C-alpha cells in the first residue's frame, strides 16, 4: 500500500534511510576496518586472486555497475569496468579466470543478465550476484553473492534498490581493498562514511520541495543533457535514464570532458543541462564545463556541495558531503526526486511508464 505517497516510486524513495540502515547492520567490521560479506563464499586468498572486476547488468543496474566499478578502482586499486549484460552475452565474451564477475539485478530475473551469468559459468569464470530478490534465478545461478535487502520494489523505475546496489559495491570495494593496500584508516574512513549515508539520504529527501522548484527548469524542455566527469559520469547516466523512463523527455548523458567534442553544438536556451559537480579534485574542471554551457545560454541545474563556489547562474541542488568516493552515490538520490517531480508535472503514470516492464524475462 502506498499510504500518503503519490506513487510507489515516491514511497520507495522515502523508504531508503530505513532500508539502508537495515542493509548495513551487522555487516561492518570496525575492528578490522572491513566488511562481512559471508554470502560471497570467498576467503581472503580467493579475494586476493582476482586481478580484475567486471560488473554486468541491464538498464539502471548497468549504470550502477559502472559507478561500482569506479568505487572498486578507487578503493581496491583493481582494474574494473561495467558492461550491459545484453551486449556481453552476444559477443562471445573472453572469460578470464582471474576476473571477478558481478551480476547486478534488482529482480534477479532479467533474461539478458541470467544468460550472461550462464555464459560466464560455462566458460569456467567466477560470478557472484548483487541481487535484491532472495531465491531469484540469478541469485540461485550465482550461488554466492550479496543480497541487497531493500525489500520489495514495485515501481518500474528503480530507486531504493539502486542506492542499495551502490552501497553493496562500496562494501565489496572495501573488502577487496582491505586484502590489498587499502589502509586500516582509509577502510575505517569509508565505513564511517557508509554509516552516515542513511541520515544523509534522509536530508536529501527532506529537500523535496526545493528540488521541486528546480524541476521547472527541466519540465518545460523537450531534451535534457546530463553531464558528469569520471565518478560523476555514471551518476549522470543514471539521472538521464530515470528522467527518460518516467517523464518521456529525451535525456542524454555525456562525460563533461566530451562536451566540446560534439554536444556543445546543441546547447541553447531551450536545452537545459544537469551537471554533477562534487567537491573533489576535479571541481575546477567541472566548473569550467558550466562556463561552456552558460556562455551558450544553456540553463543549468547543478548537483553539488555547499562548499563549491559557482560563478555562473545555476539552479543548485546541494547534497550533504560524505567521503569523496561515496559522494557520487548520494548524488543519485536528488536525481530520483527530480525525475519524479518532472514526471508529476507532466502528468505521467509514474509507476507504470509506457512500454516498460519491471523485469524483462524474455529475450
- Choose which of 106, 286, 332, 341 interacts with ligand BG6 (CB under 6 A): 106
Minimum separation from the CB atom of position 136 to ligand BG6 (A): 9
- Choose which of 58, 127, 326, 330 interacts with ligand BG6 (CB under 6 A): 58
Q: Is 322 in the site for ligand BG6 (CB under 6 A)?
A: no
Residue 41 CA: distances (Å) to CA of 72, 110, 197, 210, 337: 19, 23, 26, 44, 36
Q: Is 266 in the site for ligand BG6 (CB under 6 A)?
A: no
Q: Are 286 and 258 in contact (CB under 8 A)?
A: no
Single out the segment in contact with ligand BG6 by CB under 6 A; choices: 11-19, 56-64, 172-180, 322-330.
56-64
**Rounded Cα gap, residues 216 and 77, in angstroms:** 41
**Rounded Cα gap, residues 78 and 52, in angstroms:** 6
**Rounded Cα gap, residues 36 and 30, in angstroms:** 10
**Rounded Cα gap, residues 163 and 150, in angstroms:** 9
Q: Which is nearer to ligand BG6, 189 or 352 (CB)?
A: 352
Q: Is 158 in the site for ligand BG6 (CB under 6 A)?
A: yes
User: Phi and psi (nearest 5°) for 129?
Assistant: -105, 145
Q: Is 197 in the site for ligand BG6 (CB under 6 A)?
A: no
Residues 228-257 within binding reach of ligand BG6 (CB under 6 A):
none
**Rounded Cα gap, residues 209 and 340, in angstroms:** 12
| Residue 273 φ/ψ region, left for φ over 0, alpha for ψ in the -120 to 50 degree band, beta for the rest | beta
**What is the chain's alpha carbon radius of gyration, rounded to the nearest angstrom?**
20
Minimum separation from the CB atom of position 336 to ligand BG6 (A): 12
Minimum separation from the CB atom of position 300 to ligand BG6 (A): 27
Q: Which is nearer to ligand BG6, 132 or 341 (CB)?
A: 132
Single out the segment in contact with ligand BG6 by CB under 6 A; choices: 14-22, 90-98, 151-159, 190-198.
151-159
330 to 359: interface string for ligand BG6, x by CB under 6 A: --------------------------x--x
**Residues of this chain that bind ligand BG6 (CB under 6 A):** 58-61, 105-107, 110, 113, 156-158, 356, 359-360
Amino acid at each position: 500500500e502506498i499510504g500518503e505517497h503519490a506513487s510507489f516510486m515516491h514511497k520507495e524513495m522515502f523508504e531508503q534511510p530505513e532500508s539502508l540502515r537495515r542493509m548495513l547492520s551487522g555487516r561492518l567490521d570496525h575492528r578490522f576496518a572491513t566488511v562481512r560479506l559471508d554470502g560471497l563464499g570467498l576467503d581472503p586468498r580467493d579475494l586476493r586472486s582476482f586481478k580484475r572486476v567486471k560488473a554486468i547488468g541491464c538498464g539502471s543496474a548497468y549504470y550502477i555497475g559502472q559507478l561500482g566499478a569506479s568505487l572498486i578502482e578507487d578503493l581496491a586499486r583493481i582494474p574494473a569496468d561495467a558492461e550491459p549484460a545484453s551486449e556481453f552475452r552476444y559477443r562471445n565474451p573472453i572469460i578470464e579466470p582471474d576476473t571477478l564477475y558481478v551480476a547486478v539485478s534488482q529482480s534477479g530475473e532479467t533474461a539478458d543478465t541470467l544468460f550472461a551469468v550462464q555464459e560466464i559459468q560455462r566458460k569456467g569464470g567466477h560470478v557472484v550476484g548483487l541481487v535484491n530478490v532472495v531465491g531469484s534465478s540469478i541469485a540461485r545461478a550465482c550461488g554466492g553473492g550479496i543480497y541487497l535487502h531493500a525489500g520489495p520494489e514495485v515501481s518500474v523505475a528503480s530507486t531504493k534498490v539502486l542506492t542499495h546496489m551502490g552501497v553493496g559495491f562500496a562494501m565489496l570495494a572495501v573488502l577487496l581493498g582491505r586484502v590489498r593496500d587499502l589502509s586500516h584508516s582509509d577502510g575505517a574512513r569509508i565505513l564511517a562514511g557508509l554509516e552516515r549515508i542513511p541520515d544523509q539520504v534522509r536530508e536529501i529527501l527532506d529537500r523535496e520541495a526545493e528540488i521541486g522548484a528546480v524541476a521547472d527548469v527541466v519540465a518545460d524542455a523537450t531534451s535534457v543533457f546530463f553531464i558528469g566527469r569520471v565518478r560523476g559520469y555514471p551518476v549522470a547516466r543514471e539521472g538521464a535514464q530515470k528522467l527518460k523512463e518516467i517523464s518521456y523527455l529525451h535525456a542524454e548523458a555525456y562525460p563533461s570532458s566530451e562536451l566540446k567534442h560534439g554536444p556543445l553544438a546543441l546547447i541553447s536556451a531551450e536545452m537545459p543541462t544537469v551537471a554533477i559537480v562534487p567537491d573533489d579534485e576535479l571541481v575546477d574542471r567541472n566548473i569550467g564545463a558550466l562556463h561552456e554551457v552558460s556562455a551558450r545560454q544553456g540553463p543549468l541545474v547543478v548537483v553539488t556541495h555547499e562548499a563549491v563556489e559557482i560563478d555562473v547562474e545555476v539552479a543548485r541542488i546541494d547534497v550533504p558531503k560524505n567521503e569523496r568516493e561515496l559522494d557520487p552515490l548520494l548524488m543519485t538520490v536528488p536525481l530520483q526526486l527530480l525525475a519524479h517531480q518532472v514526471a508529476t508535472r507532466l502528468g505521467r503514470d509514474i509507476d507504470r511508464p509506457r512500454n516498460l516492464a519491471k523485469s524483462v524475462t524474455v529475450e
